[in-house]
């Protein structure tokens, strides 16, 4: 991290989740080639369903940690962090907490991808949006995101408005939902992820929206960066756009994590 400046990609998957490709060391090489100061792996872990389409099986979690540690040893002079992306689901707080007890994790991302059995960010189930009241669904989504933040299980809320992924936007009430959600983030003391993967999706926007990020800045919430890479080519995806967005909103710092402790560094 030269001169205390940093650009990091903390949202990177691995083939262990069943839907990403490439060797771990190729992800690291891609991060180096793009001039990032750190890469953090954060593969999917889902407790509430055993589905090889979405996540490594729970019993493979120790193997995942070992795989990242092996790549850390291969790149001793480069910052390779070990994280995980957990799908938040009500009633699983104890098992999530105990699973991570004593593990050498640098950070835990919390995400909401699934509500009442509908994996709403999976394009195979996109037709369900047409059957829904989008305003109500946004409300349901953001309530769950607030709950995830307040659970105390996570260091970062990943892609806070991933619900817009396929371009379905609410007609009313979005501003008050944003305010309420950012307030919950503030109470939780949680870090917000600026995630560029939305630029690769039908919505063609970064998560979260500029309106949401402005509210985060006003509340003094810390931010970090992720590409949600599912292949080495996607590491650091469109980070120039993410940095522009952060600067335009007013951010000059981003957050780095070590052993689940956070530190603010100047944004490169």
Q: Which stretch binds Fe ion (CB under 5 A): 62-70, 169-177, 205-213, 220-228?
A: 220-228
β-strand pairing of 156-157 with 118-119: unpaired
Residue closer to Fe ion, measured from CB, 106 or 228: 228
Min dist CB 87 to Fe ion, Å, is: 8
Across the beta sheet with 5-6, what order do the strands follow?
5-6, 261-267, 253-258
- Which option in Fe ion, Zn ion, none does residue 9 bind, with CB closer than 5 to 8 A by kind? none
Residue closer to Fe ion, measured from CB, 85 or 161: 85
- Residue 193 binds Fe ion, judged by CB under 5 A: no
* Total site size for Zn ion, rule CB under 5 A: 1
* DSSP codes of every residue in 166-215: TS---SS-HHHHHHHHHHHHHHHT-EEEEEGGGGGSTT-S-BS-HHHHHH
List the structure tokens of 89.
């689901």
List the structure tokens of 105.
């994790």
Min dist CB 26 to Zn ion, Å, is: 17
Whether the bond into 208 is cis, omega within 30 of 0: yes
Residue closer to Fe ion, measured from CB, 146 or 196: 196
**Which is nearest to 39 in space by CA: 3, 2, 1, 90?**
1
Tell me which residue has its CB nearest to Zn ion.
228
**Which is nearest to 166 in space by CA: 211, 125, 210?**
125
Q: Which of residues 174-233 bind Zn ion (CB under 5 A)?
A: 228
Min dist CB 134 to Fe ion, Å, is: 20
Choosing from 111, 209, 227, 255, the residue that interacts with Fe ion (CB under 5 A) is 111
- Residue 228 binds Fe ion, judged by CB under 5 A: yes
List the structure tokens of 200.
């690769």
- Residue 155 binds Zn ion, judged by CB under 5 A: no
| Sites of contact with Fe ion (CB under 5 A) | 85, 111, 228
Which positions touch Zn ion (CB under 5 A)?
A: 228
């Amino acid at each position: 991290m030269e001169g205390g400046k940093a650009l990091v990609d903390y949202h990177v998957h691995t083939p262990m989740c069943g839907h990403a490709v490439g060797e771990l060391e190729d992800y690291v090489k891609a991060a180096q080639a793009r001039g990032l100061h750190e890469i953090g792996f954060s593969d999917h872990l889902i407790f509430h369903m055993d589905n090889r389409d979405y996540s490594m099986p729970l019993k493979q979690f120790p193997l995942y940690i070992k795989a990242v540690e092996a790549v850390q040893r291969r790149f001793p002079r480069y910052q390779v962090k070990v994280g995980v992306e957990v799908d938040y689901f009500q009633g699983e707080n104890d098992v999530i907490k105990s699973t991570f007890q004593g593990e050498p994790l640098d950070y835990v991302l919390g995400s909401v991808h699934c509500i009442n059995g509908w994996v709403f960010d999976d394009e195979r189930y996109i037709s369900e949006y047409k059957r829904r009241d989008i305003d109500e669904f946004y409300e349901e989504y953001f309530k769950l995101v607030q709950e995830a933040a307040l659970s105390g299980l996570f260091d970062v809320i990943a892609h806070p408005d991933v619900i817009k992924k396929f371009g379905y936007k609410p007609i009313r009430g979005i501003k008050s939902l944003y305010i309420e959600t950012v307030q919950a983030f503030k109470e939780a003391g949680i870090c917000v992820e600026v995630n560029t993967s939305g630029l690769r999706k039908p919505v063609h926007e970064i998560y979260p929206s500029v309106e949401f990020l402005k509210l985060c800045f006003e509340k003094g919430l810390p931010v970090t960066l992720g590409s949600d890479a599912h292949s080495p080519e996607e590491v650091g995806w469109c980070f120039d756009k993410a940095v522009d967005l952060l600067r335009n909103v007013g951010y000059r710092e981003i957050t780095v994590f070590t052993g689940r402790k956070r530190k603010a560094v100047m944004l490169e």
